[in-house]
Amino acid sequence: MSTTVATEARTPPRIRLAAAEDAAVVLAIRDEAIRSSSGLWIDEVPDPEASRSWFEAQLEAGSMLVAEDPGPSAAVLGYASFSPLRDYAGYRFTGEDSVYLLPEAQGRGVGTALMEALVTHAREHGMHSLVALVESGNTGSIRLHERCGFREVGRMPEAGFKFGTWWDLVTLQRLL
Ligand SMILES: CC(C)(COP(=O)(O)OP(=O)(O)OC[C@H]1O[C@@H](n2cnc3c(N)ncnc32)[C@H](O)[C@@H]1OP(=O)(O)O)[C@@H](O)C(=O)NCCC(=O)NCCS
């Protein structure tokens, strides 16, 4: 998969709604982010049943997009989704976004294409704003969001704890 991705660098990806057959790659990307990054403050990779329910909830909500390689492989390169910022009814028009790519797909515009599509998709869903909660050292994600019209609206020191250390949180928002 990585070879195909590398040779087709810079061609804009195709963006589409996630479908059931994307489960394996989406969950592999998410599991790896949980295992090795400060992006998702979850300590343990969830068991397969919990992962499956998380993915199915995204499909049911119609709130997940995937980017696929524009070449013949049509390999999935990453996903973006939104879910209510909190479970309380008053937050139903405020979505928290999530965007994760395979390592070999990063740094060539795929995240920007996904986030621009997610903004349109969330607006069409009737959302009023999107919010990103980003670890403060994740300059790639902060830059991506700023490039897509998000503005920093807050910083919270030591909001997260993972890998035995504290992490600061940056909040960015885009009104839709
Ligand atoms: C964050 C992520 C989604 C960005 O997507 P991407 O396709 O790599 O980003 P793009 O190529 O569209 O670039 C968008 C901007 O971010 C910048 N950028 C991307 N990766 C970067 C990095 N590692 N460090 C600094 N800037 C970076 C680009 O230069 C570009 O900025 P510019 O407009 O000033 O040139 C992607 O790198 C990723 O999946 N990272 C790991 C998972 C993650 O951190 N997800 C977000 C959790 S909040």
Per-residue pLDDT of the chain (176 residues; tens, 9 = 90+): 343 444 444 789 999 999 999 999 999 999 999 999 999 999 999 999 999 999 999 999 999 999 999 999 999 999 999 999 999 999 999 999 999 999 999 999 999 999 999 999 999 999 999 999 999 999 999 999 999 999 999 999 999 999 999 999 999 999 99
140 Cβ inside 6 Å of ligand 1:
yes
Mutate to test the pocket of ligand 1, among 77, 114, 143 (most ligand atoms within 8 A of CB): 143
Output Rg (C-alpha) for the chain, integer angstroms.
Answer: 16
Strands 94-101 and 129-135: parallel
Torsion of CA 43, 81, 131, 42, to 10 degrees: 0
10 Cβ inside 6 Å of ligand 1:
no
Query: In Å, how far are 27, 48, 50, 60, 119 from 53, measured between CA atoms?
Result: 11, 9, 5, 10, 24
Residue nearest to atom 26 of ligand 1 (CA): 140
Residue bearing tokens 């997940």: 64
- Residue 151: the pLDDT is 98
Residues whose CB falls within 8 Å of the CB of residue 51, separated by 6 or more in sequence, listed in order: 27, 30, 31, 45
Ligand 1 atom having least distance to the Cα of 143: 16
Distance CA 156, CA 148 (A): 22
Token pair for 7: 């040779």
Domains of the chain and any CATH numbers: 2-132 (3.40.630.30)
Residue nearest to atom 37 of ligand 1 (CA): 106
Question: Which residues are bridge partners to 14 per DSSP?
Answer: 68
- Residue 11: the pLDDT is 81
In a 3-state reduction of DSSP, which class is residue 38?
A: coil
Identify the DSSP state of 72.
T
